[in-house]
Structure formats: structure tokens, C-alpha cells
Amino acid sequence: MGFLRKFQLLNLDIVVGAVLNGIFFAVCFRTRITWFTLLTLAIAVWIIYTGDRLLDTRKSGNMPDTPRHRFHQKNKKWLLAGISVSALVALLVIPLLPMVTVMYGLGLFFIVLSYFIFLMFFKPIFFPKEPVIALLYTCGVALPAFSLSLPEGSMFIIILQHATLAFLNLLLISSHEVTIDTKSGHHSLAIGLGKKRTETVLLVLFWLLFLSILINLIVYHEMFSFMIQATLLCMWGVLFMIKFSWGYFKKNDRYRTWADMAFWIPGWIIWL
């Protein structure tokens, strides 16, 4: 198993994307976040995604249908140990964070915890998992910067655009994994909506988001706003290519790699 493959199976590609997006929002909100804050964000994202995968393996029986879930089932003990150590490190770092960020983070933590409890004990037949995860993800990566600033109205538009990108990412992937998810006992919005409705939702979201970015490029024509919207447009472009060049991206699960790495694009803004 190659390094990149292990990197993906351990959800570290998602962690890197979350950190880069956290920095992106700090630039958007014109504020500064510390390395301790970014470390806590990275740990929180890794714990949440790894915990979610481990919960999914409980529904998959003895033979999960995806490499990522098989990896988590096979290495369950080591991953649980990793979660415990990571949580301890986070607890040691939290006193070094701004109190306002800690308070916002605790609020989001209880929301995420409620989400996991709901999935564990209520086992809903149909639950719109993708939009909920997309919203929580965007709230999580935006929280460090948001808690330290007073965002203008245009900043909330950027948050909404980012959440839509995250939703597109998840719905696009789940729309092509309906068979696997059904066999594994996983629930998704794509399964609930059916193929035709899912395609309609994807198309509407793609073009509404494109229109939103285009309008913002015209209305907020200063260079700073242009670079932010151009970044979002590049992320949109990667997901758009996956959607309309599926024959290429379905080979060797390229779509997963590219869909996740679309959220690495905001990393270029570090150089500003």
C-alpha cells in the first residue's frame, strides 16, 4: 500500500484540507489564528471523521464494501487508541486557545456529539446526512476565524458558498456510491432522493453556486474579494470536472482523491 493511499485511508487528506480552509477563512475575515488553534482543528476533524468511519463499520457487518471502511474495521483498536491520544493532546492544548474560540468550539462540539448520538441510537431509515455534515464541516473550519472577528455581510455569503461546495462534494460522491452504501446499510440523501432527483439537485446547486460566484466577482470587484471568489471558483471547477468527466474519474476511485483535494486549493492563500 503506497504512502498516498495510507494517507487517504487515515483521513489525513481531509485533515490537511480542513487546516488549509481554516487559514483561508482567517484571511477572509482578516484575522490571525495561532498554530495551537490549527492543531486543535486538525485533531477535532480527524477524530470526527475517524469516529464516523468506525461507526459506519458497525453497520457494514464483517465485510465492509469500501477500502476506507475495511481499513477502519481492520485497524479498529489502533484507531481507537489514536482517538484517545489525540483527544488528550487536544485537552492539553485547549488552555492555550482564546477563550472565545473555546466557547464557540464547545457549542459546536455538543452539536456534533448530538449528531453522533442520534445516528447511534435512533438509526434513522432516511436522514439527510450530506447537508448536515457539509454545514458542520464549514462551521468547524470557519469557527477559529469567525470567533475572533465581526464578519461583514459578504463574509456570510462566503460561508454559505463554502458550505454549498462541501455539500456538492458529499452528494456527488454518494450519488455514485448508492449501490455500495445500500449493501453496507449506510444511509445517504442520494439513496433517499433516488437517481433522477439527485441529478436534479446536483445540477441546480452547481449552477446556483456558479451564478453566486459570478455575481460576487462583479459586485465586489476589489482584488481581495476577487481572489477569494476565484479560489471558490477553482474548487467548483474541480467538482464540476468530476461530475461531467465521470468516465475518467471513476477509474481507481480518482473521484474521491480529486473531490477531497479540491479543498486543498484554498492553501495557496497562505502566501498572501
- pLDDT tens-digit map of 190-213: 777 888 888 999 999 999 999 999
Q: By three-state DSSP, how is residue 272 classified?
A: coil
Distance, CA of 241 to CA of 243 (rounded, Å)? 5
- Residue 1: predicted pLDDT: 53
pLDDT tens digits along 28-52: 888 989 999 999 999 999 998 898 8
Helix (H), strand (E) at residue 127: none
Between the CA atoms of 130, 228, 141 and 203, what dihedral angle is there, to the nearest 10 degrees?
0
Tell me how far apart the alpha carbons of residues 170 and 176 are, in angstroms, rounded to a whole number: 10
Percent of the chain with pLDDT over 90: 44
Whole-angstrom distance, CA of residue 266 vs CA of residue 147: 20
pLDDT value of position 130:
86
Number of structural domains found in the chain: 1
pLDDT of residue 20: 95
90 against 246, higher pLDDT? 90
CA angle, corner 15, sides to 179 and 149, nearest 5? Answer: 120
| Residue 202 near residue 172, CB atoms below 8 Å | yes
Neighbouring residues of 178: CB distance < 8 A, sequence distance ≥ 6: 188, 190, 191, 195
H/E stretch holding 197: helix 195-219
Indicate the pTM of the whole model: 0.89
The stretch 231-240 carries a mean pLDDT of: 94
Quick one: average pLDDT of 165-169? 95
The residues, any chain, with a CB within 8 Å of residue 69's CB and separated by 6 or more, are 53, 56, 57, 60, 184
Cell readout for 253 is: 476511485
Residue 197 near residue 171 (C-beta atoms within 8 A):
no
Residue 222 is given by DSSP the state: S
Q: How confident is residue 23, by pLDDT bands cut at 50, 70 and 90?
A: very high
State the pLDDT at residue 124: 57
Least confident span in 41-50, 105-114, 146-155, 159-168: 146-155
Domain range for 117: 3-271
Cell reading at 246: 465521470
Confidence of residue 185 (pLDDT cuts 50, 70, 90): low
DSSP 45: H
